[in-house]
């Protein structure tokens, strides 16, 4: 018995700032993020109960729907705001944007690619819990040559 996985890619644009960073990333700036989500199932437990999806780990369409709802939709063209930031400016920017009805996503972690990858793995696994699949790997690119990767513990 082996493990089978499928992977789908997504992109979105997002603004953030990294409090206390010694360099340019302390400034408000943005990236075009790329995300890869890998979903795994035991090879002997592929979908059989629906002929439409028979032989699949998960329908790519269903993976896309969940990732769009949970990640790409909320985060695209948003300012990601770390509510625990030590940078007063970050709080002021978030307040101003919220007052003006602009898109702000509040997170309780410093919005590095690493923290976002860990957060996405947790969010997606909670969503897919009932489907009998595991999100086994998440990769988040902040630039075309820089990414963070998290693998689920075996």
Q: Which residue sits closest to Zn ion, CB atoms considered?
A: 25
Catalytic option among 9, 29, 69, 77: 77
Which residues is 13 bridged to in the sheet?
32
Stretch that binds Zn ion, among 21-29, 38-46, 50-58, 77-85 (CB under 5 A): 21-29
Q: 96-125: which residues touch Zn ion (CB under 5 A)?
A: none
Q: Catalytic site residue 77?
A: yes
Long-range pairs of 131-136 with CB within 8 A, sequence gap ≥ 24: 131/58, 131/62, 132/41, 132/45, 133/39, 133/40, 133/41, 133/57, 133/58, 134/39, 134/40, 134/41, 135/37, 135/38, 135/39, 135/40, 136/3, 136/5, 136/38, 136/39, 136/40
Q: Catalytic site residue 142?
A: yes
Q: Which is nearer to Zn ion, 30 or 74 (CB)?
A: 30
Stretch that binds Zn ion, among 22-30, 34-42, 73-81, 144-152 (CB under 5 A): 22-30
CB atoms within 10 A of CB 80: 20
For the window 57-96, what string marks contact with Zn ion as x by the rule CB under 5 A?
Answer: ----------------------------------------
Cβ 22 to Zn ion, closest distance in Å?
Answer: 14
H or E element that contains 99: helix 88-99
Tell me which residues are annotated as active site.
25, 77, 142
Note the residues at the interface with Zn ion (CB under 5 A). Answer: 25
């Amino acid at each position: 018995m082996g493990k089978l996985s499928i992977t789908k890619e997504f992109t979105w644009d997002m603004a953030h700032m990294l409090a206390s960073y010694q360099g340019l990333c302390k400034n408000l700036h943005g990236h075009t993020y790329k995300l890869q989500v890998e979903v795994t199932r035991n090879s002997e437990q592929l979908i059989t109960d629906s002929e439409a999806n028979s032989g699949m780990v998960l329908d790519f369409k269903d993976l896309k729907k969940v990732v769009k709802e949970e990640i790409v939709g909320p985060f695209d063209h948003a300012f990601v705001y770390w509510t625990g930031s030590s940078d007063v400016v970050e709080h002021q920017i978030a307040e101003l944007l919220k007052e003006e009805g602009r898109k702000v996503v509040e997170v309780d972690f410093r919005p590095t690619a690493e923290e976002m990858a860990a957060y996405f793995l947790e969010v997606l696994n909670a969503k897919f819990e009932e489907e009998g699949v595991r999100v086994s790997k998440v990769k988040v690119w902040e630039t075309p040559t820089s990414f963070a990767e998290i693998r689920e513990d075996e």
